[in-house]
Amino acid sequence: MSKIFLFDALREATDEEMKKNSSVFILGEDVGHYGGSYKVTKDLHIKYGDLRVLDTPIAENSFMGMAIGAAMTGLRPIVEGMNMSFLLLAFNQISNNAGMLRYTSGGNFKIPLVIRGPGGVGRQLGAEHSQRLESYFQSIPGLKIVACSTPYNAKGLLKSAICDDNPVILFEHVLLYNLKGVVPDDEYFVPLDKAEIVRKGNDVTIVTYSRMRHHVMEAVNILLQENYDPEILDLISLKPIDIESIVTSLQKTHKLIIVEECMKTGGIGAEIIAQINDKYFDLLDAPIIRLSSQDIPTPYNGNLEKITIIHPQQIIDSVRMLLSS
C-alpha cells in the first residue's frame, strides 16, 4: 500500500493502461511536454512519445472529433480537458457522436473513449472555470459518467473507464488533486456503476459524491459526538445512478439527505428524488432534503463563492432537523 496524491493516482492508472495496451493514448491541451495543468500526465511523453501523448491546439471540438474517430477505428483515446468547462465547445461531438454512434451504427462501432479533467467550484477561479457540469451530460444517452473522490477510487475508476467499450466521462474535482490517500500496490479496478458505502449507519442516509463527500464526513465527525448514526453513500456513478444501493440503505433508515455541488435545478439530486418518488416513496418517513449549489454562475468574490456551495454546518443542521421531527 502507498499513500499518494489523487493526481498521482490518475497518472499511475494512465501509465499502467498505456503500458499494457498500445492502443491507449492521451490527447489534449498541454498534456505532453507541460505534463497537464494538474500534472496528471507529467513525463508520460518521455516514456511513450509525442504521438501517444499528443498536444493539441486550443480547438476542443476538433480534437474531440478526432478522438471519437480514433475510438471507432479501435484505438482507446483519453481526452483531457484543461478544464471540463471548455469541453462545452465539444458538446456536439460528445452528444451527437460519442453517445450515439454505437447505437446508430447498429453496434458496428464501439466508442472506447475516456473524457476526463478538472471541474467543480474551485477557489476564486471565476464563473467560466467553476462550472458544475454533471447535469449537462447526464441526460445524454449512451454515456457513462463517474466522479472520483479519493486517490483509491480515482485510480480504479480511470482504469475501468479505459477498458470499457463505451464513452465514459470522469469528473475530477479541481480541489481534490492534492488529496492524499492509500492506494494498493497491486492492480485493481473500481466498478463504473456502483456506489460506495463510506459509513454504515441506521438513522439517516446521506448520499453525496466528489468533493462533497469530504464535507459530509466533516459534518459526520461532529454528528457522531451528538449520538447520531448516519449512513454515508458516495454515488461515484452518476450515470447510471446506483439506485439499488440507495434503496437498500433507505430500507434501514427511511430518511434521505442528498448533498451535491451540482445546481439544484435539473441536477443529480433532482434525478435521485424523481426515481425514489416514482418507485420507492413508501420507504420514506420524511420528505427528502436536497442540499445543492445555488442556481447562479459561481462568483469570483471569495465570500460570495462560499455562499454558492454547501458547507458542513448546513449538513449538520439538516440532520438535526430531520431526526428531531
What single letter denotes the amino acid at residue 78? I
Total Cβ atoms within 10 A of residue 321: 12
* Residue 311 is a catalytic residue: no
Q: What's the alpha-carbon Rg for the chain, to the nearest Å?
A: 20
Find all residues with CB under 8 Å of 177, minimum gap 6, and list them: 5, 6, 7, 38, 40, 118
Find all residues with CB under 8 Å of 73, minimum gap 6, and list them: none
* Residue 129 is a catalytic residue: yes
Find all residues with CB under 8 Å of 281, minimum gap 6, and list them: none
- Per the residue annotation, which of 45, 129, 173, 215 is the catalytic one? 129
Dihedral (CA of 94, 96, 100, 106) sign? negative
- Per the residue annotation, which of 17, 29, 60, 261 is the catalytic one? 60
Dist. CA 179–CA 149, nearest whole Å: 9
Residue with cell 478544464: 83
Question: Which runs of E-coded beta strand occur in the chain?
Answer: 2-5, 24-28, 53-55, 76-80, 114-119, 144-147, 168-173, 180-183, 196-199, 204-208, 230-234, 237-239, 256-263, 289-293
Dist. CA 134–CA 187, nearest whole Å: 28
DSSP 211-267: THHHHHHHHHHHHHHTT--EEEEE--EEETB-HHHHHHHHHHH--EEEEEEEESTTS
- For residue 263, the cross-strand partners are 293
Closest CA to 302 of 119, 122, 121, 124: 124
| Residue 71 C-alpha from the chain's centroid | 22
Q: Which residues are catalytic?
A: 60, 129
